[in-house]
């Protein structure tokens, strides 16, 4: 039997399967990026030149920009490019790295996204904190998933035939 730590130490980022990475070039505007953030539900857009990640733009950046007095209008969002406001360079991880390495990088670096690249530096995915928690709930279902829809619910009679 394994501990959580063992499970994370013995699995690699590539074992998680596809990690969707919404992507846009640096000359896209913040206004154009918003629907990508909303639809992909990954919390960030990877800014790419070709297949190479050069930056990342997150939901946190949206909040930061909204707090700037000059950024309130839709017009401002239409004129600001991702290249101007993205974080760069993005934090990256290789697909061969273990999940515990990924967790360590996220916890120590205080970020919630790791841009996954291959050995040529080409974009292969976006790892987010939810992927790691999902990995655990998928692999330890008895402890975490097989719970009633409402956690404090108790059945008076056994359900089913």
Partner 1 sequence: MICPLCDTDNIPGADICENCGMDLAGLDVSEWGVDPDDPVFSVPLRELPLKAPLILAPEASVREAVALMHGRGEGVVFVQGAEGALVGVLTERDVTSRVAARGRDLDDTRLEQVMTRDPVTLSADDPLAWALHRMGVEGQRHLPVVEDGRLIGFLSIRSVLRLFLEA
Nearest distance from residue 48's CB to partner 1, in Å?
Answer: 20
Closest residue by Cα to residue 30 from 70, 71, 69: 71
Instruction: Choose the binding region for partner 1 from 18-26, 81-89, 119-127, 145-153 (rule: CB under 8 A).
Output: 145-153
Instruction: Choose the binding region for partner 1 from 15-23, 89-97, 100-108, 118-126 (rule: CB under 8 A).
Output: 100-108
Q: Does 104 bind partner 1 (CB under 8 A)?
A: yes
Buried b (16+ CB within 10 A) or exposed e, 24-34: bebebbbebbe
Closest residue by Cα to residue 77 from 92, 57, 97: 57
Nearest distance from residue 102's CB to partner 1, in Å?
Answer: 9
* Footprint on residues 31-70 left by partner 1 (CB under 8 A): 34-35, 37-38, 41, 43, 59-60, 62-64, 66-67
CB nearer to partner 1: give 122 or 143: 143
Nearest distance from residue 112's CB to partner 1, in Å?
Answer: 7
CB nearer to partner 1: give 75 or 161: 75
Task: Find the distance separating the first CA and the last CA of the chain, reported in whole Å.
Answer: 34
Neighbours of 102 (CB within 10 A): 22
- Is 84 in contact with 57 (CB distance < 8 Å)? no
Rounded to an integer, what distance in angstroms lies between the CA atom of residue 119 and that of residue 47?
Answer: 19
Nearest distance from residue 156's CB to partner 1, in Å?
Answer: 21
């Amino acid at each position: 039997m394994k501990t959580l730590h063992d499970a994370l130490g013995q699995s690699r980022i590539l074992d998680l399967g596809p990690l969707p990475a919404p992507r846009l070039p640096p000359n896209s505007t913040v206004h154009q990026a918003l629907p990508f953030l909303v639809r992909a539900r990954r919390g960030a857009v990877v800014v790419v030149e070709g297949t190479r990640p050069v930056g990342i733009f997150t939901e946190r950046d949206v909040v930061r920009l909204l707090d700037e007095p000059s950024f309130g209008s839709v017009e401002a969002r239409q004129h600001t490019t991702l290249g101007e406001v993205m974080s760069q360079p993005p934090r990256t991880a290789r697909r061969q790295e273990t999940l515990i390495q990924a967790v360590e990088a996220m916890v120590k670096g205080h970020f919630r996204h790791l841009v996954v690249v291959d050995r040529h530096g080409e974009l292969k995915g976006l790892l987010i904190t939810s992927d790691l928690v999902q990995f655990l709930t998928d692999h330890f279902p008895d402890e975490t998933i097989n719970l009633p829809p409402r956690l404090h619910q108790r059945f008076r009679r056994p359900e089913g035939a």
